[in-house]
Structure 1
Amino acid sequence: MTDTSLAVPGLRSALRSLWQDQRVWLASALMLAVLAVADRNQAAASATFAATALLNTAPFLVLSIAIAAWAGATGADNLIAKAFTGAPVLMIGLGALAGGLSPFCSCGVIPLIAALLAMGVPLSAVMAFWLASPIMDPSMFVLTAGVLDLEFAVAKTLAAIGLGVFGGAVVHLMMKRGAFADPLRDGIGNGGCGGARVRAPKPVVWRFWTDPGRRTKFARTALSTTLFLARWLVLAFILESLMLAWIPAETVTATLGGDGLLPIVTATLVGVPAYLNGYAALPLVGGLIDQGMAPGAGMAFLVAGGVTSIPAAMAVWALARPPVFLLYIGLSLTGAFASGLLFQLWQVL
C-alpha cells in the first residue's frame, strides 16, 4: 500500500507536467485540424507559413538556445548576486541592468525575489530587477533581432533597463517618505535555492565542458529550451498566418497605426490580456507591424505584456503585499507607454 500511495502522486505529477508541456503542441495541432476541415487551403498555407518562418528563424533560434544552455552550464546566473551590493542608487542601476541582460532562469525568480527582500535588500533595487527581468534576456535579444530587427532588439533592451531604473527610482523616493516598510506577505521565507545564490554565490565555471555534470546540464538545458521555443513559435507563426489572412491591414492601420498617442495607449492596454508569451509575441507583433501597426505601439505592447503577463504578475501577487503589487502594475503600464512613445519618436526622427 505504501508503494501505491507514493506512486499515484508521482504519476499525477508526471501527467500534469506532461500535459503542461504538450498543451501548446496540442493547440497548434487542433488549430490545423479545424482549419483542414473548414478551409483546407488555409490549413496548408498556415502550415507552410509556420515551417518557412521557423526555417528562416533557425539561425537565431540555435544561437538563443546555445546562450541559454551556456548560462545554465557555467552558472553565469550566479552573477546576479553582485547586482545587489553597494549604495541604493548603485543597486537600482545594477538591478535594472541585471534584470535586462542576465540569462536568469524564470523558475528561480520567485524564490530569489523573496530572498532578496527577506534579507533586507531595498525594495527599490529589487523592483528595478523585477520590472526589467521579464522583458529581455540574451536569448530574447537574439530572437527579437531575428524576428523583428536589430534596432528593435536594442530598443527593447534599453526599454527594459530604463523601466527598471525608473521603477526603482520611484520606489526609492517613496521609501524615503516611509512607504513599503514591510513589502512581503506574511509567511514568505528567504527563498530556498534562490536565496542561496545571494547568500553564497558560487563561482562561474567558464570552461564547463571539462565537467561531466555541467556538460549534462548543458545538453538538458539545450533540449528543454529547444522544445520550449519550438512549441511556442509554431503556435505563434500559425496565429500570425491567420492574422495576416483574416485581419484586414486597413483595420490594423486604423487602430494601431499612425504617429499619435492613441495607438500607443491602445497597444499598452491590449498588451495586458493579449500577451501569450515573450517568444510567441514576437511573430505576432512582426505581422501587425507589416500590416501597418506603428512601431511604437509594437514596443508598448511587448513591454506592457511582458511585465504584466499572468506568470510575472502572479509572482508579484504571491510575494508582495497589495500596495506593492498595484505599484508594480502602475509602473509597468507607465513605463510601457513611455517606451512606446520614445521609440515612435525615434522612428520619426
Structure 2
Amino acid sequence: MFEPFTRLADWGAYRLLGLEPGGRLAEAVHFFVEDSAKIFVLLVLIVFVMGLFRTLLSPETVRGYIEGRSRGAAYLLAVTLGAVTPFCSCSSVPLFIGFLEAGIPLGVTMAFLITSPLVNEVAVVILASIMGWKMALVYVAAGLGVGLIGGILIDRLRLERHVEAYVWQIRMGAPARIEADLSPSGRVRQAWGEVGAIVGRIWLYVVIGIALGAGLHGYVPADLLARHAGPDNPVAVPLAVLFGLPLYSNATGIIPVAEALIAKGVPIGTVIAFMMSVVGLSLPEFIILRKVLKPPMLVFFAGFLAIAFTLVGLLLNALFV
C-alpha cells in the first residue's frame, strides 16, 4: 500500500540527489521524503473524511450527548467523544464553560479535555500505518485510560473550588446560530474547509517532527539511544516525560520522532510516555486554561498528567520487554 512513497523516496534520495544508499545523509533524506509524502497524503484524506463526519458532530452536539447522562455513562461518552473530536486548544475555554453551564460535572468535562488532544483519529491511522495497529491500539487505550482516571480523580477530590468563580456565574442563553449548509455539496465544502484549517495549522509541526525523526534516523547511532533510554535505565521514562514538557506538537507531528526512536531501539513505553507528554502537557493549552482554572488546579492537572504518563510508560515497558 505504501510502496509508492518508498519508490518516491528512492528516486529523490538516490537518483535526484545522487546519494549513496546506506549513507547517513541518504538515510535521513530517504526517511524525510518517504514520511513527508506518506503523512501529508494520509493527513488530507483522513481530515477530509472526518470533516464530513464532524458536520454531524459539532461541539454543541457533543455537549448534548453527554448532558443528562448518568455519571458512569457520562465518563465513557466523554472519553469516547474526546477521541473522535480533536478540538484544538483554542476551543478549550468555550468547551469548558459550555459543558459546566450545561450541568456536566467538572470531572466529566476534564475527562473530555484530557482525551481530546491525546487521542486523535488522524494520528491513530497514521501511527498504525507506520508502526502497526498494535502500537496504535496501545496508544489509544493509554489515552482513554488517562482521561477516564483523571476525570474520576478530579471528581472524587471535589476540585470545583479551583475553578474561577466567574465560570459558575455564567448562564449562557441560546445564541443565534448561523444555519450551516447541510446539503451534500455543503458538507463537502465544510470538509475541505476543515482540511485547509487543520493542515494549515499543523503542517509546520509535522514537517519539524519529520525533520527531527530524519535526523535521529540518519545520524544518531542506534546504540546511543538504546543505551541511555533503554529498559535498563530506571529513569528513562520520567526523563522522556520531562523532555516532552517544553516541546509543543500535536499527535500527528510527533509520530515521525516516535518512529525514529523505536527504530533506534528505544522501548515502546518510553516512546509512548514521550509522545503523550509532548501532546498532553501543551504549554499553550495550559496558558489558555488559566483563564478558567486557578493555579492549584493547573498544578494538580499537570502533576497528574506527568505521573500518569510515567506510569503508562513503565507499565508498557514491563509488558513489552
TM-score (norm 2): 0.80
Q: Aligned runs of 1:48-197 on 2, under 5 Å?
A: 48-57=30-39, 60-81=42-63, 82-175=65-158, 180-188=159-167
**Selected match of 2:228 from 255, 261, 280:** 255
Inter-partner Cα distance in structure 1 for 2:212 and 2:221: 15
Deviation at 1:189, TM superposition (A): 7.9
Contact 1:72 1:221 in 2 (8 A): no
Aligned to 2:6: none
Task: Give, as a single letter, the amino acid of the residue that structure 2 aligns with 1:148.
Answer: M
How do 1:13-28 residues align onto structure 2 when only pairs under 5 Å count? Answer: none
Q: Name the amino acid aligned to 1:308.
A: L
Q: Which aligned pairs between 1:214-225 and structure 2 lie closer than 5 A?
A: 214-225=187-198
CA distance in 2, matches of 1:263, 1:53: 27
Q: Which residue of 1 aligns with 2:184?
A: 210
Hey, what's the Cα distance between the residues in 2 that align with 1:258 and 1:331? 23
> Aligned letter for 2:36?
L
**Does 2:299 match 1:316?**
no
Partner residue in 1 for 2:13: none
CA offset at residue 47 of structure 1?
4.9
Structure 2 CA distance for partners of 1:69 and 1:86, relative to 1, 3 Å: closer
- The corresponding residue for 1:27 is none
CA–CA separation in structure 2 for the residues paired with 1:261 and 1:345: 12
Q: Would the aligned equivalents of 2:86 and 2:116 in 1 still touch at CA under 8 Å? A: no
Given that 1:237 and 1:283 are in contact with CA atoms closer than 8 Å, whether structure 2 keeps it comes out as yes
- CA distance in 2 between counterparts of 1:135 and 1:187 reads 28
Distance in structure 1 (CA, Å) of the matches to 2:182 and 2:25:
44
Between 1:294-303 and 1:67-76, the stretch displaced more is 67-76
| Map of 2:300 onto structure 1 | 327
Whether contact under 8 Å (2:236, 2:270) holds in the other structure is: yes
Q: Which has the higher helix share?
A: 1
C-alpha RMSD over aligned residues: 3.2
Return the offset for 1:46.
Answer: 4.8
Contact 2:110–2:150 under 8 Å retained in 1: yes
Provide structure 1 residue ranges, at least 5 long, that are not aligned to the other structure. 1-40
8 Å Cα contact 2:280-2:305 kept in structure 1: yes
AA aligned to 1:140 is: A
SS at match of 1:300: helix
In the TM superposition, what is the alpha-carbon distance from 1:240 to its structure 2 partner?
A: 1.7
| Cα pair 1:275 1:305 within 8 Å, conserved | yes
Looking at structure 1, the residues matched to 250 and 170 of structure 2 have their Cα atoms a distance apart, in angstroms, of 25
Q: Is the 8 A contact 1:96 1:128 kept in 2?
A: yes
Q: Which moved more, 1:259-268 or 1:288-297?
A: 259-268
Aligned-partner Cα distance in 2 for 1:326–1:334: 12
What CA deviation, in whole Å up to 9, does each residue of 1:97-121 have, x standing for no partner?
2222334355323211122234443
Aligned: 1:278 with 2:260: no
